Amino acid sequence: MQPMLNIAIRAARLAGNAISSSLENKKSIEVKQKGKNDFVTNIDLYCEELIIETIKKAYPDHSFTGEETGVHNGSNTEYRWIIDPLDGTFNFIRDIPHFSVSIALQVKGRTEIGVVYDPVKNELFSSIRGTGSKLNDQRIRISSVPQLTSALISIGSRKDSNNYSEKIISESYDIRRLGSAALDLCYVASGRTDGYIENGLKPWDIAAGELIAREAGAICTDFNGSAQYLKTGNIVCSNVKLLREILKNLA
Ligand code: 2AM
Ligand code: CA
Ligand code: CA
Ligand code: CA
C-alpha cells in the first residue's frame, strides 16, 4: 500500500499547490452555483482532473469517483479512488483559509488509504489501514475527553445541521463550525477537537477522513450507532465514551 499512498500524497500536494496559487491571482477563479448552498469553481474542476491524471499515470487500470466529474471506470473496478478535489469550497471562495484536498483508495469497497491535505497550513494527514495515522511525519491520536460537558465538538456547517446543533451547543463545552468535513475528521484524529457530527454528506467528503480518524483511535457511526455512515452520509466521530453520550443527545 505504501507506493499507492505515495501517489495519493503526490496528487494531493499537486492539487493543493494549484489551489494556493489560484488564491494569489483571484481573477483566475470562476464561481458557479451548483445547488442551493453548493458552489463550484474552475479550480475544483481543474484539481479533480489533475488528481485523476496523476493517479492514472501510475495506475492506468484503476477506477475513480470524484465529486465534480463523477464515475470513471477503468478495467479494474476493485480499486476505486474517491476524490474531493476541494473540500470547503465556500471557505475558499470567501478567502477563509480553511479547506482541503481529500483522496481515499477503496479496494473492493473497503477504504485502505486516506490522505487529506490542507495547503494553507501545509498539513498532510494520512493513513494506511492497520498502521495508524499521521500529521506530516508525526503519529496522531484522538483525545480522551470522556464527557460532553468538557468536549469541544465540531458540527457540520451545512444549514440543515441546525436540526441537532442546538442540543449539542447547550450540552457540550463548546462547538466549532469549520467548513471542511474532511478536516473536521482529521481534527478529531489529532485531538484538536473531541468529536464531530454532520449529516447529508457524500462518500468523497468523509472516506479519507474517517479512515484517518479511526486509525487514530476514533469510532465512527451514523446517528443511530450503526456503521452505515458512508451510505447514509450522517456521521458521528469521537472516542468511544463520548460517542455514546453524543448519540444519546441525537436520539
Ligand atoms: P464541499 O466544500 O466539497 O462542497 C461544509 O459545507 C462541508 O459540507 C464541506 O465539507 C462541503 O463540501 C460539505 N458539503 C456536502 N454537501 C454539501 C452541500 N450540498 N452544500 C454545501 N456543503 C456541502
Ligand atoms: Ca461541493
Ligand atoms: Ca466536500
Ligand atoms: Ca468539493
Arithmetic mean of pLDDT, 36-65: 96
Report the mean per-residue pLDDT for the chain. Answer: 96
Whether residue 198 is predicted with pLDDT greater than 90 in this model: the reply is yes
Please give the distance, rounded to the nearest whole angstrom, from the Cα atom of residue 231 to the centre of ligand 2.
17
Q: What domains lie within the chain, and their CATH numbers?
A: 1-139 (3.30.540.10), 148-250 (3.40.190.80)
Residues of the chain with pLDDT > 70, as a percent, come to: 100
Closest ligand 1 atom to Cα of 181: 10
Whether residue 162 is predicted with pLDDT greater than 90 in this model: the reply is no
State the pTM of this model: 0.97
Name the closest-CA residue to atom 3, ligand 1. Answer: 87
- Contact between 140 and 191 under an 8 Å Cβ cutoff? The reply is yes
Q: What ipTM, to 2 d.p.?
A: 0.96
The answer, yes or no, to whether any atom of ligand 1 lies below 6 A from the CB of 48, is no
Arithmetic mean of pLDDT, 81-100: 97
pLDDT score recorded for residue 38: 87
DSSP string, 178-208: -S-HHHHHHHHHTTSSSEEEE-S--HHHHHH
Of the listed ranges 136-145, 154-163, 200-209, the one predicted with least confidence: 154-163
3-class DSSP assignment, residue 20: helix
pLDDT score recorded for residue 157: 78
HSE (side-chain half, CA atoms, 13 Å) at 192: 12
Whether residue 33 is predicted with pLDDT greater than 90 in this model: the reply is yes
Please give the distance, rounded to the nearest whole angstrom, from the Cα atom of residue 50 to the centre of ligand 2.
17
Name the closest-CA residue to atom 18, ligand 1. Answer: 38
Read off the pLDDT of residues 120-131 as tens digits, 9 standing for 90 and up: 999 999 999 999
Q: What is the largest CA-CA distance in the chain?
A: 51
The closest alpha carbon to 184, from 161, 64, 166, 40, belongs to 161
The answer, yes or no, to whether any atom of ligand 1 lies below 6 A from the CB of 89, is yes
